[in-house]
Structure 1
Amino acid sequence: VDVTNFVLLELGHPMHAFNLASIEGGINVRMAHAGESLTLLDETTVELKDNTLVIADDNKALAMAGIFGGLHSGTDETTTDILLESAFFAPDAIMGKARQYGLHTDASHRYERGVDPQLQATAMERATRLILDICGGEAGPVVEAVNEATLPAQPEVTLRKARLKRVLGIDIADATVAEILARLGMQAAESAEGWVAKAPSYRFDIAIEEDLIEEVARVHGYNSIPNMAPVAALSMIPASEATLSLNTVKSVLLNRGYNEAITYSFVDPKIQNLLFPDSNGLVLPHPISADMSIMRVSLWPGLLQAASYNQKRQQNRIRLFETGLRFVPDAAAPNGINQQPMLAGVLAGRRLAEHWDGTDSAVDFFDAKADVEALLGLTGKSKQVSFKAEAHSALHPGMSAAVYLDDKHIGWLGAIHPQFTKKLGTNGRVFVFELQLSAVTQRDLPQAKAISKFPANRRDIAITVAENVAVGDIIKFIEKNSANQLVGLNLFDVYTGQGIAEGYKSLALSLILQDPDKTLEDAEIQAVVDSVVKGLESEFGAALRE
């Protein structure tokens, strides 16, 4: 035993000595049978697992290969005939096996990290010589079993001169590099591009070009590599002033009392199918849970669940928004899913935080619309934005609108349908909006214009129109067909009731007129007003209210 331990320290190769008398039949190297037991040299008995390699005779296991010998087959003071084992085991076959049994031995430590696959015969001869010299006796025959196909091949690694210089940043003479490789025991053939080195069998760590570069740097000396600051050229990154950052968009909502929420991209299919019965969301094959098993087609389900969670915890004023992807099935998109960046929000409860000078009025449709208009105001395209009353499966029929920018549909706005309130777990009227993020991150750049030094003039008109006429259509018509002197237009009153025919409404509009080159005269101002009134009469059947 002392001899095998000495050879381990001298050559770095583990060996084991068996009591030949305890071996029944031949030596077999095999995987352990499940439940097979073995008493180890430290007199502990282990139950072997079927992933453990063992040395066995014809009837029983003798030792755990590369880890620990068995007590029954071990040598003692009565042993007269010994069998020496000198083997190579692949690191993958031994790695982690000792820890399964709570063991850590000198042999397993080395086999897990790799030993020289060509050192077995040398170790055997060295141990035999020492035993004969110290203990006496007679050497028996050496039996060798080799499978060349499974033995590790000595890798041939190419080291390029250009790559060596690029990585280390210095020039090392070719003769010095060749000498270093030779001193490391490598057979290196030099060419114009570099060297092809064959690593010695005991160098398991040489596999790629960078391994050789590391060895050259180590032997050459890290202190011999001068400290040189890297040189890099900085270039300006192209930035479009017309593109707004996401933080700029978020700041608008934060300044209006919202908080940012982050919800899961996978939602409860019951909630999503309730709000979007016509959607066919992507179902996850291995969901976290049944209520998180489908990819969202809108950010509303997650935000509404967050609103419900907060309302149940005595939060009476809720303003939440989220930016993220929605996943819309689309056969033409990659993987059949169109991933669209969206911006969505939810608001409910009090319009203002509780205060002695405030009111407890609840938010309404126009609060949500104002927030959407503030977002779209970033684009500088307010005149191209329109809200049209359209139906949505999740929204109240009388409080829903589609949002258009340049006549392109970009989102929705409205109150959640009352029939969903109980199933969503929300209280009161809850308003939501959702916009395509790309619609609010691209803006028209401001154009400088001269400020008129001439006075502005205001004229108010009151007209009556049918109740089904949209005010937005009237404002757009006036802006499009009025004179260039119209610099401001505002609706400041809507009235129905006494004095107004049934089915009609009265609208009060203020027109601000100003010319950049002169002071407008009353006749010019009146001509503009008359033109507006006449156009409204012909387009909308409007009448000037007396």
Structure 2
Amino acid sequence: MKLGEEWLYDLVPSLRNCVNFKKKLLQVGIETHYVPDLISPPLVSNAIVGTITNILVHPKNKNYMIYLVYLGNFFLHKTIISFLKIFHIGDKVLVAISNVTYYKNSFVTNVEIFGKISEGFFCDFYMLNRGFKKNDIVFLSKNISNGENFSKYLLKNARIIKFECPSNRIDLQCVFGLAREIAIINQLSLPQLPKKKILKNFKKYRCQIDFEDFSEHINYTFREIHNLDNKNVFLPFLIQERLRKCDLMFENVLENLVHYLFLETGHWFHIFDIDLLKKQKIKVRLSKKGECVYISSKKKIYLQENTLILSNFEQILSFSDMFEITGAKVTKNTKNLFIGTMDFLQESFFLKKKEIFFLKKICTNLKYNICSYKCLNILDYFTFLILKICGGTETTVFMKLKNFFKKNTKKILVNFKKINNILGVKILEKKIVHILKKNFFKYTFENNLVYFQPPYWRLDILIEEDIIGEIVSKFGCHKIPSLPFKQNSYNSSIQLNNVISLSRIKSFLINNGYFEIISYSFINPKFQKFFFPNQKFLVIKNPISIEMSVMRSTLWIGLLNCVAYHQNRQYEHIRIFETGLCFFLDDTKNLHVRQEDYLACAISGFVKTKSWYSTNRNFDFYDMKGIVESIFDLFGQLKKIHISPKIFHGLKSNCSAGIYISNQLIGKIGILDSLISEKFSITQPVILFEILWKKIFLKNSFIVRPISELPKIKRDISIIVKEDIMSSQIVNMCYQILKNDNVEIFLYDMYHGEKIQKGYKSLSLRFIFESFKKNLVENQISKKIQNCILGLKNEFQAILRD
């Protein structure tokens, strides 16, 4: 939001004495900086401010008027002759006088007009380089002193400030709201909403307002102004200058006044030409499916269903408060004007921001009001401005209610002990109450509990944490010590407290060429159905879009989106991983939601970059299996896990396995199904795994044994068994046969292919024997190996390969 600095000073005069008010604004999340005013210097300089004290008709030419203008004690009165007949006694104007004012680099001189001397002329916006039309005369506000040099006035009020406010602070979308916040921070008197008394006219209004039958709470207030002159009128200089600095200038005076009022007070008004309304009937309703509006003769916009609109029979008058809609649009020929404004309750559905795509722009400004008891005051202020500038007669005010009732802001329970625990510093209860009272929070004691009620304009204060944030911003972030959290560091030695170290797993993966990604926790339910076809998901009530409408139950979707993105950009070797929470519906848990910490990896493409001296190969299942085993080996859990075939949705049935630790399923691994690869537009096979990484430490016990000083003996055997026999069964059988020996057994090769019968596989095992007492004898080792071969032959019909 960009505005002239003088506008703030006008609402809070004592602010001129506050030097560091911008630094204090930064503490509450409002960033400010000055921006240059890029307007060109005026064509006229040293123009003088004056007040018209007398008006006469020129005795020799009735087309000219003689104006007597008082220019202060120094210049006294000057006579100005002009053909313009728009002035009244008491108008504050800007005058270029002879021998004082420069116009286009030369002095203004006296001019004789039909025997009378004109000692200058009235200045218009064109002369000030603030308009393109000549004779748009500058009218000034009453607070500018007569005789003041207008060049110095412009220089004094030239600064423009740009404010960047938090998106949840709706109350800071207007100048009054900003001025109020600045006054509170600097402990100044609060600005007051403008109060203008108008002559109460009991003329009856002509329009009728009706509501469609819907459950929302709405209050619509309106009045009419008849017989106004919208053609030969000009905005006062102060209003026009403030709008120009905000980049909100329109040709129509009434449209400018609506925007000016919105900028100043935050209240939005509808204005319509009554004479263009069919039977003077307006209906507040929700749009239907496929309904559209015409912005001009060439532009048509289709509305989202259930958009709040104002209509005159089938003709839509307004949606999202846009002026451009044809129909009852106000023009310079408008004689009879309808002014209306809508109020809502704070929790109304219509107060939620909606993106409206219009002319390639996104309109997210909240233009609906929530302070019904301030509405009449602002309506009178708006009426006063219109009557002063355009003339006319106003009617009585009519208020139409739809399920509306006055509702105070919510009371919030505050726990002082919790505040001190969160902040890490003790703030006395009296200090907390004092801070909130200064910010116009009300408090009550009920059953020895303290409840705070935020002021009506603080719609962002909804829960206790919001109040804590308010206390921090007003207490001062610099007063809260910045101390690191107390935490235990991981040591590779044995620790009794069994510290879990996710960072160690990440470091291992990064050192092996993996990249960590971070994806959204809310995803497309269509993709999640591929992996959990029979499961209900945790649905988001107000999703950003249908593609982000459920909470994830797997990390694989984020990984697959990343793989597809990089494959489309010709990356040939992809290694990525992610850690994060997954969400499941569970009636046994609090709020019926269970959260689990997962670690997931995905690989695709070539194992390494291409080179001239070596052949390359694609990643396969066993590359990923090796990574899984290495992760468990980091924590001494390798012997406690086994990976066995298990079918999972989304993985190929012949390349899908479960990951078990101590016979408990903690993850899955496999190759992505080709049908799902097509849905993600993935061209290369993808191998994935996903584990509950905290379960690695379920039974984290270490066995410490000495290392033998005697030499070890190694023996290798290769056997042929049926394909459905798992290698872990073979290894466990060998351990059982040699249970009285100190031996290590592991599989180091598996082979399918030539010279191996279909339906069978070749397994190569390595035995490492060692002793702590004596050197092992060859005959003893051979006998033990023969016992293993015989046991495998009897149990699995294994055949020893030559």
Range into which the TM-score falls when normalised by the shorter chain: 0.5 to 0.7
What does residue range 312-461 of structure 1 map to in structure 2 within 5 Å?
312-441=568-697, 444-461=700-717
| Residue pairs, 1:113-132, within 5 angstroms | none
1:34 aligns with 2:222: yes
Q: Report the Cα distance in structure 2 between the residues aligned to 1:18 and 1:352, rounded to whole angstroms.
A: 78
Q: Which blocks of at least 5 consecutive residues in structure 2 are unaligned?
A: 1-188, 203-218, 229-234, 240-253, 268-370, 383-424, 431-437, 451-480, 490-494
2: CA distance, partners of 1:491 / 1:356: 32
**What is the Cα deviation at residue 539 of structure 1?**
2.0
Q: What corresponds to 2:766 in structure 1?
A: 510
1:502/1:476 CA distance change after superposition, 3 Å: same
Q: Secondary structure at the match of 1:392?
A: coil
From 284, 298, 301, the equivalent of 2:557 is 301
Q: Is the 8 A contact 1:458 1:510 kept in 2?
A: yes
Select the residue among 215, 235, 242 that pairs with 2:498.
Answer: 242
In structure 1, how many angstroms separate the alpha carbons of the residues matched to 2:605 and 2:534? 30
Aligned to 2:785: 529
The 2-side partners of 1:302 and 1:543 are apart by 46
Which 10-residue stretch deviates more, 252-261 or 493-502?
493-502
Distance in 1 (alpha carbons) for counterparts of 2:620 and 2:190: 82
The change in CA–CA distance for 1:470 and 1:93 in structure 2 (over 3 A counts) is: same
Measured after TM superposition, the shift of residue 450 of structure 1 is: 1.5
Tell me, yes or no, if the aligned pair for 1:375 and 1:440 is still in contact at 8 Å. Answer: no
Q: Report SS of the residue matched to 1:404.
A: strand
Paired residues of 2:637 and 2:696 also in contact (CA < 8 A): no
- Could you say which residue in structure 1 is the equivalent of 2:538? 282
**1:339-365 Cα deviation digits (max 9, x unpaired):** 111111111001112333343211011
1:253 and 2:514 aligned: no
1:276 counterpart letter in structure 2:
F
Deviation at 1:366, TM superposition (A): 0.5
Matches within 5 A, 1:203-218: none
What is the count of residue pairs matched by the alignment?
Answer: 398
Question: Aligned partners of 1:287, 1:32: CA distance in 2, in Å?
Answer: 30
Deviations 1:129-153 (A, max 9, x none): xxxxxxxxxxxxxxxxxxxxxxxxx
- Structure with greater helix share of residues: 1
Distance 1:93 1:237, change over 3 A: farther
Supply the AA of the counterpart residue of 1:249: I
Give 1 or 2 for the bigger CA radius of gyration.
1
Q: Is the 8 A contact 1:486 1:511 kept in 2?
A: no
* Contact residue 743 and residue 768 of structure 2 kept, 8 A: yes
Q: Report SS of the residue matched to 1:322.
A: strand
- The one-letter amino acid paired with 1:348 is S
User: Which residue is equivalent to 2:410?
Assistant: none
Distance 1:336 1:442 in 2: 24
- 1:32/1:351 CA distance change after superposition, 3 Å: closer
Distance 1:264 1:532, change over 3 A: same
2:298 match? none
* Farther-moved stretch of structure 1 (358-367 vs 531-540): 531-540
Report the alpha carbon displacement of residue 208 of structure 1 after superposing the two structures with TM: 9.6
**Which moved further from structure 2: 361-370 or 287-296?**
287-296
| 8 Å CA contact retained: 2:195, 2:381 | no
Deviation at 1:41, TM superposition (A): 11
Counting aligned pairs with the same residue, the percent is 30
CA separation of 1:514 and 1:288: change in aligned 2, threshold 3 A: same
Cα 1:41–1:322, aligned 2, differ >3 Å: closer, same or farther? closer
Q: Which digits, 9 at most, give the CA deviation of each residue in 1:415-465, with x for residues without a partner?
A: 111122211110111111110121235573544322111111112223232
TM-score by length of structure 1 reads 0.60
Q: 1:527 to 1:242 in 2, by over 3 A?
A: farther
Q: Deviations over 1:29-67 (max 9, x none)?
A: xx9953566999999896789998xxxxxxxxxxxxxxx
SS, match of residue 34 in structure 1: strand
Give per-residue Cα distances to partners, 1:478-536, cap 9 Å, x unaligned: 23441443433233444556665554333332211111121112233233223322321
Report the secondary structure of 1:307's partner residue. Answer: helix
Q: Distance in 2 between matches of 1:401 and 1:206?
A: 61
Is the 8 Å Cα contact of residues 348 and 431 (structure 1) preserved in structure 2?
yes
Structure 1 residues 34 and 412: CA distance shift in structure 2, 3 A = same
Query: What 5-or-longer segments of structure 1 have no aligned partner?
Result: 1-10, 26-30, 53-90, 103-165, 170-193, 195-201, 211-229
1:338, 1:282 → 2: CA distance?
A: 10
Aligned to 1:469: 725
CA–CA distance in 2 between the matches of 1:370 and 1:316?
21
Per-residue deviation, 1:241: 4.9
- Deviation per residue, 1:257-284 (Å, 9 max, x gap): 1111111111112222233322221222
Q: Distance in 2 between matches of 1:381 and 1:334?
A: 32
Instruction: For 2:439 and 2:542, locate their aligned partners in 1 and report how far apart those are by CA, in whole Å.
Output: 44
